[in-house]
Amino acid sequence: MKTEQITKAYEMAKERYAALGVDTDKAIETLENTPISLHCWQADDVVGFERNVAASGGIQTTGNYPGKARNIDELRQDIEKVDSLLAGKFRLNLHETYGEFGGKFVDRDEVGVEHFEGWMQWAKEHNMKLDFNSTSFSHPKSGSLTLANPDKEIRDFWIEHTKRCRRIADAMGKFQNDPCIMNIWVHDGSKDLTVNKLRYREILKQSLDEILAEDLPGMKSCLEAKLFGIGLEAYTVGSNYFYTGYCAKNNVMYTLDTGHYEPTENVSDAISALLLYVPELMLHVSRPMHWDSDHVTLFDDNTRNLFSEIVRANALDRAHIGLDYFDASINRIGAYIIGVRAAQKSLLSALLEPTATLRQYEDEGKLFQRLALLEEAKTLPFGAVYDYFNMKNSVPVGEEYFADVEKYENEVLAKRN
């Protein structure tokens, strides 16, 4: 697309938004400065570099499109490609199983900062900050219960793992001079009806208390709730209520994954409620289809509503944006770009909302006008602003990136099998 054409369309859009009291330049600036944490696991279907097995423990990837990253160099190469095609700031979200183990087997209770020094250096060179995750799935000791396991030996193994991960995150945060956010998600639960639900929740609470007791100023922990996992359909120890209570009581960041709620639940409604009681939110922006299927994030009503609620609550500084999906059935680089752009579009469209006018209508009881302006806002020239944002940052505009993804597929990904 021609520079001139994009600029002209932007100027017109800018005027149109200004008439509604919305500053498009300011929205673009906020979009440019709001980091999105890229989940490393879309590049290799959540396999990692520990034991080269498919993901298990409540989650599953489907599809076998060729070209997945098979080692750390390929993963880095893929992330660099993704980064090069996108405007905006990025962080990289690593799981423990993506450490640099140098050909040696390093079990989860042996992992240390040394396995992530290469990543810290790489991230610095690529102007990215790191986030982190302990990994309690895809391991012989994962079973159905990890931190909530009544078997002390297994529970202690995972407590040790999670403590070590927090120290790694602390080192990352200190290195990058910005807190590393470490997510704790455990799949713990049961396939069928459970009659001592309280017991496992007590154990999980105790394990978390022990893990979080260590004061590590370079990192922030967050806890991810879930509705159910595959093979664990009847009971999830770390449910939404469990973590809402835990995080509120202990002032811990809550991880809200948009795939982890009842299918008819309006997840975005949780934002303004949780923000009153927990210090911060970590978002795993995903797309459930019928269940927590982790489809590629889209610019759909759910994603848009989520970002609208964050912007309306003026909480961009308290909500950390990360993506969480894994589609192994399409080009994985393309999957990253679709999802990031969907998140950016959702954020931008939230930033371009004529919220002040809408609120005035609401306060004055002008409810037809409120509803009507919400409808009108949907068809404002939003695309022109997003195109301009990309052009301004010298990355492909619109469908231009398809050619780059295809070229990378032919020259790099296709040679990986």
59 binds, among ligand RNT, Zn ion, none (CB under 5 to 8 A by kind): ligand RNT
* Residues between 305 and 324 that touch Zn ion (CB under 5 A): 324
53, burial (CB in 10 Å: exposed 0-12, middle 13-18, buried 19+) = exposed
Work out whether 284 is an interface residue with Zn ion (CB under 5 A).
yes
Tell me the one-letter amino acid at 376.
Answer: E
- The yes-or-no answer on residue 224 being catalytic is yes
Work out whether 44 is an interface residue with ligand RNT (CB under 6 A).
no
Which one among 78, 83, 170, 257 touches ligand RNT, defined by CB under 6 A?
257
**Cα 139 from Cα 166, distance rounded (Å):** 19
Tell me the one-letter amino acid at 140.
Answer: P
> Which position among 45, 50, 96, 294 bears the catalytic label?
294
Smallest distance from the beta carbon of 79 to Zn ion, in angstroms? Answer: 19
- The yes-or-no answer on residue 291 being catalytic is no
188 in a labelled binding site: no
Question: 261-282 b/e with 16+ CB inside 10 Å = b?
Answer: beeeeebbebbeebbeebebbb
Which one among 27, 46, 338, 350 touches ligand RNT, defined by CB under 6 A?
46
Work out whether 287 is an interface residue with Zn ion (CB under 5 A).
no
Side-chain-side CA neighbours of residue 346 (13 Å): 26
Q: Give the residue with the Cβ less far from ligand RNT, 122 or 185.
A: 185
Give residues with Cβ within 8 angstroms of 201, minimum separation 6: 148, 237, 242
**Cα 411 from Cα 417, distance rounded (Å):** 12
Smallest distance from the beta carbon of 70 to ligand RNT, in angstroms? Answer: 18
Smallest distance from the beta carbon of 257 to Zn ion, in angstroms? Answer: 4
Q: Give the residue with the Cβ less far from ligand RNT, 46 or 333.
A: 46
260 in a labelled binding site: yes
> Which position among 41, 119, 158, 185 bears the catalytic label?
185
Give the CA distances from residue 298 to residues 258, 285, 302, 334, in Å, rounded to whole numbers and listed in that order: 12, 9, 9, 13
> Which position among 50, 96, 309, 324 bears the catalytic label?
324
Give residues with Cβ within 8 angstroms of 142, minimum separation 6: 56, 57, 136, 187
- Which is nearest to 255 in space by CA: 37, 33, 32? 37
- The yes-or-no answer on residue 74 being catalytic is no
Work out whether 327 is an interface residue with ligand RNT (CB under 6 A).
no
> Which position among 68, 115, 284, 345 bears the catalytic label?
284
220 binds, among Zn ion, ligand RNT, none (CB under 5 to 8 A by kind): none
- Residue holding tokens 């301004």? 392
Smallest distance from the beta carbon of 142 to ligand RNT, in angstroms? Answer: 13
Residues at the site binding ligand RNT, with contacts judged by CB under 6 A: 41, 46, 59, 133, 185, 224, 226, 257, 284, 292, 324
Any idea which residues carry the catalytic annotation?
A: 185, 224, 226, 257, 260, 284, 292, 294, 324
